[in-house]
Structure 1
Amino acid sequence: MSEQLITLATNYGIPFLALIVFLSCLALPVPCSFVMLMSGSLVTSGDLAFTPVFMAAYGAALAGDQTGFFAGRLAGRFIIPSIERSPARRDLLARAHGMLEKRGAIGVFLSRWLFSPLGPYVNLITGAAGMSWWRFSLPAALGELVWVSLYVGLGMAFSDNILMIADLASNVSGMLAAGAITVFLGWRLWKQISGSAKDHGHRKIRHQR
């Protein structure tokens, strides 16, 4: 599966990335995390340019969020009961509802990246519940900015380890996957920054001598 996705991401590039990101925001079972990581890796290799990759992923995420929000606004009373027929989706829907009740707009923001499996259900619930468009859209846009930056940036920074990171994302279930990758990224970046700071300090000492 990974080899097929790599081939698709390489051959179809930006349109494939945008389609996968958009569908993931509608709760369809597509390998969005891997495709975003792979797209970041292709930026590092020079096969894709950063700006089109970032804008395609970010624009598709925003479009998916708005589609879900207005679907909930216009037809939530039909869509939500159909989702509740599935035990797994009913659980995600309940978690999304609980987070919105507890955190409100902050919950919308966190559901874009830290609790990303809840994102599509948050879109539906906020629309069906009548949350104002601005109160939904602003934290959603900020959260998607974090999400896209995180995954594309991770793919760029660690392009040699894409398959390992993808395995981490697929093997850690549910909401823990996003949190695990966030922690991993922070740890690796901290090591790079601290290593660069030490090297700079050593160079400064040698220069003073």
Structure 2
Amino acid sequence: MHLIHESIAMIEPYLRHYGLPALFVIVYLESLGAPLPGESGVICAALLASAGQLPIEGVFLAVAAGAILGDNTGYLIGRYGGRGIIERYGRYIGLNQQRREWIEGLYAQKGAAVVVGARFVVILRQLNGIVAGMMAMRWKPFVVANITGAILWTAVWTSVPFIFGDFFAAHFHDILK
């Protein structure tokens, strides 16, 4: 809880000042692979919406668009540039030929489920599109799974803080004034 509190405290001034464009950029860059606190940004924006300071519809659209576009950009990077990097340097991070083949098989058989599920797991969320592209997952199933996962993830992380805003505000009262 402390880490989320710190992340929200860091993001909140940007969301207040720049609004939905800042939220879109944070989620887009996180979905592209940058180590940013996207989930905390979504929670903070939903809490601000709960307090009437941002429109919840806009929060939902900014988050969903950022997540979908970020993962698609990551997919293109992985598809057209990442494979060579992994083949050359993968061994330095423990990604040998055998592991790479296992991951490729996973994406070939259950790629859509992996893409949807990865949206809900930190680190996997950031690498989701890049890895799917590097593992040569077909684009059409990736896009469908990406949109599905992004909308589900967005719905959870915008609606829960928005609906239970008073409860969360009690825990983050020093930030969300």
Structure 2-normalised TM-score? 0.76
Q: Which residue of 1 aligns with 2:34?
A: 28
Check the 8 A contact 1:37/1:162 in 2, yes or no.
no
Q: Which amino acid aligns with 2:110?
A: R
Gaps of 5+ in 1: 166-209
Between the aligned residues of both structures, percent identity stands at 26
CA distances 1:5-55 after superposition (whole Å, capped 9, x unpaired): 222211111011001101111221211111100111111111111221111
Return the alpha-carbon distance in structure 2 between the equivalents of residues 27 and 34 of structure 1. 16
Task: Give the ranges of 4+ consecutive aligned residues of structure 1 lying more than 6 Å apart after TM superposition.
Answer: none
Return the alpha-carbon distance in structure 1 between the equivalents of residues 90 and 158 of structure 2. 30
Return the alpha-carbon distance in structure 2 between the equivalents of residues 135 and 54 of structure 1. 23
Aligned residue pairs total 159
Check the 8 A contact 1:9/1:39 in 2, yes or no.
yes
Q: Equivalent of 2:45, from 20, 39, 43?
A: 39
Are 1:104 and 2:111 counterparts? yes
Return the alpha-carbon distance in structure 1 between the equivalents of residues 116 and 31 of structure 2. 14
Answer with 127-136 or 40-49: which moved more.
127-136
Whose helix fraction is larger, Structure 1's or Structure 2's? 1
Check the 8 A contact 1:72/1:79 in 2, yes or no.
no
Q: Which residue of 2 aligns with 1:13?
A: 19
Distance 1:125 1:30, change over 3 A: closer
Q: Which residue of 2 aligns with 1:65?
A: 71
Check the 8 A contact 1:41/1:159 in 2, yes or no.
yes
What is the correspondence of 1:14-163 to structure 2 with a 5 Å cutoff? 14-80=20-86, 85=92, 97=103, 100=107, 103-113=110-120, 115-160=121-166, 161=168
RMSD of the alignment, in Å? 2.8
CA distances 1:128-176 after superposition (whole Å, capped 9, x unpaired): 23221111110111011011111111220222426859xxxxxxxxxxx
Structure with higher Rg: it is 1
Gaps of 5+ in 2: 1-5, 173-177
Q: Which residue of 2 aligns with 1:202?
A: none
CA distances 1:97-135 after superposition (whole Å, capped 9, x unpaired): 38536633211111112x342133332222123221111
Q: Which amino acid aligns with 1:134?
A: K
Distance 1:144 1:158, change over 3 A: same
Structure 1-normalised TM-score? 0.66
